[in-house]
Structure 1
Amino acid sequence: MGKAEIGLIGLGVMGSNLALNIAENGHKIAVFNRTTARVGTFFESAGALQPRIVPCTTLAELAEAIRPPRPIIIMVPAGKPVDEQIAMLRDVLSPGDIVIDGGNANFHDTVRRFSELGNSGLTFIGMGVSGGEEGARHGPSIMVGATPEAYARVEPILTAISAKFEGEPCVALLGPDGAGHFVKTIHNGIEYADMQMIAEIYGVMRDGLGMSPDEMAGVFAEWNKGRLNSYLIEIAATVLAAQDRQTGRPIVEVIIDRAGQKGTGKWSAIEAQTLGVSATAIEAAVSARILSSLKDERLAAEQAYGSGGLPKFEGRRDVVLRDLELALFAGKIAAYAQGFAVMAAASKEYHWNLPLPTIAKIWRAGCIIRSQFLGTLAEAFEAGGELANLLMAPAFIEMMKETHPSLRRIVARTAEAGLPMPALSSALSYFDLYRQGRGTSNLIQAQRDFFGAHGFERNDGKGAFHGPWTQSG
């Protein structure tokens, strides 16, 4: 065989699986790892795919093994390690070669790297990859920020390795420079909200209804057959049914309630605030993970205040479960509405022209938030006209009318019972604020004018005005 079509640096879990995916789909790939022993181990484990893999022990050897213009995927931890790897690659690559960051990068870093490499003759691609270990190996959702010319060089490979939804590849060029990594960041923000809401529903089942993990697994499995059909609901059912090999207990009961995070959720919340977009469900989910890390403080607070005791909920279980299902769906709509509103704002701010229907489509398979729901979402954005917010799409208006009463009942009942519901209650407040034609910010404006002479608008005239408490009032 001839030279490799693409290279990859970083043979960790994601890098190794992505390399095997590329080889399995018929493309020869050259691989390198800083710890060179890992290269040999990886090659030996590749089995029948070895003829399509070129193991390299130096960066010069890696560059020589790839057909120009050389695309090389970097799969190393975000931040400084990526910059260090790029600096070393500049010594062995030639003008026109393509450096691809396939990690969870902050899009600001991607924009900077795109600009910096532009003066060197090299091209940069920011590539968001979603789907975890399984997705990397068998088909992820891929979000690309690049020039059309650079994308054309790697498009056949990315199309081949991506997830497919009814035959459509879940990969797209979404815009220049940081567009792909920004969309991946918001994907992860929505993922945070989705997971937190599922956890809150689990909390009601456990602490409000006294259900066992096995009983909950059955409910989630049933929900996965309907409107909530999604990867996260599917795996919720799977993990709730799983048993710990050491103790024989449900595995969920032996896991400490401290959730980790790698930064993308926080970035999505920060970018929403920076762009002036309300993303309360995402922000609440990030905050909930932070609070989850304070295990010792929470135990001390429980000692000080008490937990309230069980059971918390009365009435027919099937009625409560129906409300929980609809509440979760309503919260999901609000979270996606917020995420897509952030992307729409970023598209205007950075002149990316993000294709929102395409984003929904490439999330239908491969990625962590893949769900049946995304097809309806794509249709809403394709319907024509500029959609200010997903909540204003006709199909979603009908769905929210059906489901928000259940969300309201669940939030009210959990508040009375002392069961925390930060993301779902934030979603409800967002919905109520969004649909309130006459809000309460007039009082805020009056106060701002009182202490800072900031002025305000009047509903009976145009211009800036001051209240009677100022000299110019």
Structure 2
Amino acid sequence: MELGMIGLGRMGANMARRLARQGHQITAFDPSPEARAQAQAPGIGPVGSLSELIAALPSPRILWLMVPSGQPVDSTLDQILPALAAGDIVIDGGNSNYKDSQRRGARLAELGLHFVDCGTSGGIWGLEEGYSMMIGGAPEVVESLRPIFASLAPSPTSGWGRVGPVGAGHFTKMIHNGIEYGMMEAYAEGFAILHHKREFDLDLHQISEIWREGSVIRSWLLDLTAAALEKDPGMTGLEPWVDDSGEGRWTVAEAIALDVPAPVITMSLIGRLRSRDRDSYSDKLLAAMRQQFGGHAVKKG
């Protein structure tokens, strides 16, 4: 199949490469000339503008967006929609909020266009291992895109699927990322306890490798943890700053809206936020309170 890829960051470029390797023809655009140059490969034809990209595609056009969530997606749609025709398909493969995807789907439907939201997981490993894809859209539209999804997935029949109407793909990916937050936090806390048990002189990399085989807590995240511990078991040179893409926040907000208790995901999000407070006022105030009521010692900076 032929399709247009808009956004050639690391993940977008890797998805284009995986598709091209399996015989798809990709016309690609990114506002960065450097990104376009780096994406040049057999089966991938970078172009210098969105208008060139749209003109190069056969009808019905298939456009895959891999741009940052939020305003960049709306801005891209504003630029391409006037040039599209009824029956064309736009896929958002980024980390958009599902409510935005529902709004965008309705907007495109009024123009006779199809919108598909594809929650995509796989990160930098997807090029070789394949991507897990949670897809929202009309059944017949998603089915027409089967060759693309089958090529991107770990196998043609696994790791991907339509999960519901427009919005359902990004909603499912949002919850996926919320679960990821909780799993990461549990691993981090467990290894921190092991690290602080000095009397046993534990080899954390060895333990992670033991757990990877046969253990009920084995997972790909544990595989990645083991690789990190092998490289730098003391985490030297790293600062305790953990970023977030926003999907953990959306998951917590959705849990509250639905009256669903989600304490693990919520606390893992709070842990990430706390990691960024280099000069924690709340911790200082806690120390001051303890000194006030109990005369406990405080440390002066």
TM-score, normalization: structure 2?
A: 0.89
Distance 1:10 1:64, change over 3 A: same
Aligned to 1:221: 209
Supply the distance in 2 between the matched residues of 1:239 and 1:191 (Cα, whole angstroms). 17
CA shift digits 1:190-241 (9 cap, x unpaired) = 00000000011011111234666x8011111101102222111111111111
Distance 1:303 1:113, change over 3 A: closer
CA shift digits 1:129-168 (9 cap, x unpaired) = 001111155401011001112212211111122013xx74
Supply the distance in 2 between the matched residues of 1:116 and 1:74 (Cα, whole angstroms). 16
Is 1:184 aligned to residue 173 of structure 2? yes
Aligned to 1:277: 260
Match for residue 134 of structure 2 among 119, 133, 143: 143
Supply the distance in 2 between the matched residues of 1:141 and 1:300 (Cα, whole angstroms). 40
Aligned to 2:277: 294
Instruction: Please say if residues 130 and 152 of structure 2, whose CA atoms lie closer than 8 Å, have aligned partners that are also in contact.
Output: yes
User: Map of 1:29-108 to 2, 5 A cutoff?
Assistant: 29-43=26-40, 46=41, 50=42, 52-108=43-99
Aligned to 2:235: 252
User: Map of 1:232-381 to 2, 5 A cutoff?
Assistant: 232-243=221-232, 250=233, 252-297=235-280, 301=284, 304=287
Deviation at 1:184, TM superposition (A): 0.3
CA shift digits 1:316-344 (9 cap, x unpaired) = xxxxxxxxxxxxxxxxxxxxxxxxxxxxx
Match for residue 151 of structure 2 among 144, 157, 160: 160
- Partner of 2:280, secondary structure, is helix
AA matched with 1:17:
N
Q: Which 10-residue stretch deviates more, 188-197 or 126-135?
A: 126-135
AA matched with 2:77:
I
Distance 1:296 1:135, change over 3 A: same
CA shift digits 1:78-115 (9 cap, x unpaired) = 00000000111112211110111110010010010001
AA matched with 1:297:
S
Supply the distance in 2 between the matched residues of 1:85 and 1:61 (Cα, whole angstroms). 14
Aligned to 1:109: 100
Aligned to 2:296: none
Distance 1:204 1:31, change over 3 A: same
AA matched with 1:113:
R
Distance 1:223 1:302, change over 3 A: farther
Match for residue 164 of structure 2 among 175, 196, 208: 175
AA matched with 1:134:
W
Deviation at 1:298, TM superposition (A): 7.8
- Cα-Cα RMSD: 2.1
Supply the distance in 2 between the matched residues of 1:70 and 1:60 (Cα, whole angstroms). 13
Aligned to 1:366: none
- Partner of 2:240, secondary structure, is coil
Supply the distance in 2 between the matched residues of 1:279 and 1:5 (Cα, whole angstroms). 42
Supply the distance in 1 between the matched residues of 2:162 and 2:275 (Cα, whole angstroms). 37
Supply the distance in 1 between the matched residues of 2:282 and 2:177 (Cα, whole angstroms). 29
Distance 1:300 1:277, change over 3 A: closer
Identity of aligned residues (%): 35
Instruction: Please say if residues 117 and 123 of structure 1, whose CA atoms lie closer than 8 Å, have aligned partners that are also in contact.
Output: yes
Instruction: Please say if residues 143 and 171 of structure 1, whose CA atoms lie closer than 8 Å, have aligned partners that are also in contact.
Output: yes
- Partner of 1:296, secondary structure, is coil
Aligned length: 287
Match for residue 119 of structure 2 among 116, 128, 131: 128
Aligned to 2:292: none
Aligned to 1:6: 3
Supply the distance in 2 between the matched residues of 1:220 and 1:16 (Cα, whole angstroms). 32
Supply the distance in 2 between the matched residues of 1:281 and 1:149 (Cα, whole angstroms). 38
Supply the distance in 1 between the matched residues of 2:79 and 2:140 (Cα, whole angstroms). 24
Distance 1:251 1:97, change over 3 A: farther
Supply the distance in 2 between the matched residues of 1:137 and 1:10 (Cα, whole angstroms). 20
Distance 1:83 1:251, change over 3 A: farther
Supply the distance in 1 between the matched residues of 2:245 and 2:192 (Cα, whole angstroms). 24
Distance 1:197 1:300, change over 3 A: same
Instruction: Please say if residues 7 and 67 of structure 2, whose CA atoms lie closer than 8 Å, have aligned partners that are also in contact.
Output: yes
Supply the distance in 2 between the matched residues of 1:174 and 1:234 (Cα, whole angstroms). 28
Supply the distance in 1 between the matched residues of 2:6 and 2:99 (Cα, whole angstroms). 22
Ranges of 4+ aligned residues in structure 1 off by more than 4 Å: 209-212, 298-305
AA matched with 1:233:
L
Aligned to 2:12: 15
Instruction: Please say if residues 20 and 137 of structure 1, whose CA atoms lie closer than 8 Å, have aligned partners that are also in contact.
Output: no
Supply the distance in 1 between the matched residues of 2:17 and 2:79 (Cα, whole angstroms). 24
Deviation at 1:70, TM superposition (A): 1.0
Supply the distance in 2 between the matched residues of 1:272 and 1:221 (Cα, whole angstroms). 35
Instruction: Please say if residues 128 and 142 of structure 1, whose CA atoms lie closer than 8 Å, have aligned partners that are also in contact.
Output: yes
Supply the distance in 2 between the matched residues of 1:114 and 1:179 (Cα, whole angstroms). 11
AA matched with 2:8:
L
Structure with higher Rg: it is 1
For structure 2, the residue ranges without an aligned partner over 5 or more in a row are 289-301
